[in-house]
Homo-oligomer: A and B are copies of this chain.
Amino acid sequence: MGYSARQLRSTVTAGGQLELSLAMSEVPDPATDDVIVRIEAAPINPSDLGLLFGPADMRTARASGTPDAPIVTADIPGHLMSGVTARVDQSLPVGNEGAGVVIAAGDSVPAQALLGKTVGVIGGAMYSQYRAVKTSQCLAFREGTTPAEGASWFVNPLTALGMVETMRREGHKALVHTAAASNLGQMLNRLCVQDGVDLVNIVRRGEQETLLRKIGATHVVDSSTPTFKEDLVAALSATGATLAFDATGGGTLASQILTCMEIAQSANAKEYSRYGSSTHKQVYIYGGLDRSPTELTRNFGMAWGLGGWLLTGFLQAIGSGKMQELRDRVAAEITTTFASHYTQEVSLAEALQLEAIATYGKQATGEKYLINPNKAV
Give Cα A83–Cα B295 distance, bound, in whole angstroms. Answer: 19
Say whether A303 contacts B298, CB under 8 Å.
Answer: no
> Contacts A272-B87, A307-B305 given: A296-B293 contact, CB under 8 Å?
yes
For A271, give its contact among B86, B269, B295 (CB under 8 Å).
B86
- Chain B residues with Cβ below 8 Å from A51 are 274
Say whether A306 contacts B306, CB under 8 Å.
Answer: yes
- Chain B residues with Cβ below 8 Å from A84 are 272
- The number of times this chain is found in the oligomer is 2
11 A/B residue pairs, CB under 8 Å, sorted by A = A87-B272, A90-B272, A92-B272, A249-B298, A293-B297, A294-B295, A294-B298, A295-B295, A302-B310, A305-B306, A305-B307
Within 8 Å of chain B (Cβ to Cβ): is A192?
A: no
- Chain B residues with Cβ below 8 Å from A305 are 305-308
For A306, give its contact among B278, B293, B299, B307 (CB under 8 Å).
B307
Give Cα A211–Cα B307 distance, bound, in whole angstroms. Answer: 34
The count of residues in chain A whose C-beta lies closer than 8 Å to any C-beta of chain B is: 40
Name the 9 nearest CB pairs between A and B, nearest first.
Answer: A305-B307, A86-B272, A302-B308, A302-B310, A294-B296, A87-B272, A50-B274, A306-B306, A293-B297
Give Cα A349–Cα B197 distance, bound, in whole angstroms. Answer: 56
Minimum CB–CB distance for A70 against chain B, Å: 23
Within 8 Å of chain B (Cβ to Cβ): is A343?
A: no
For A285, give its contact among B92, B278, B298 (CB under 8 Å).
B298
Residue of B nearest to A284 (CB): B305
- Chain B residues with Cβ below 8 Å from A306 are 296, 305-307
Within 8 Å of chain B (Cβ to Cβ): is A60?
A: no
Within 8 Å of chain B (Cβ to Cβ): is A288?
A: yes
Within 8 Å of chain B (Cβ to Cβ): is A301?
A: yes
Within 8 Å of chain B (Cβ to Cβ): is A239?
A: no
Give Cα A77–Cα B278 distance, bound, in whole angstroms. Answer: 26
Give Cα A282–Cα B25 distance, bound, in whole angstroms. Answer: 41
Within 8 Å of chain B (Cβ to Cβ): is A309?
A: yes
Within 8 Å of chain B (Cβ to Cβ): is A304?
A: yes
- Chain B residues with Cβ below 8 Å from A312 are 275, 278
Say whether B296 contacts A301, CB under 8 Å.
Answer: no
Within 8 Å of chain B (Cβ to Cβ): is A266?
A: yes
- Chain B residues with Cβ below 8 Å from A86 are 266, 269, 271-273
Give Cα A371–Cα B344 distance, bound, in whole angstroms. Answer: 72
CB neighbors of B among A241-282 (8 A): 249-250, 255, 266, 269, 271-275, 278
Give Cα A294–Cα B288 distance, bound, in whole angstroms. Answer: 18
Within 8 Å of chain B (Cβ to Cβ): is A319?
A: no
Minimum CB–CB distance for A4 against chain B, Å: 25
For A310, give its contact among B249, B288, B303, B308 (CB under 8 Å).
B303
> Contacts A86-B266, A86-B272, A272-B86 given: A303-B297 contact, CB under 8 Å?
no
Within 8 Å of chain B (Cβ to Cβ): is A313?
A: yes
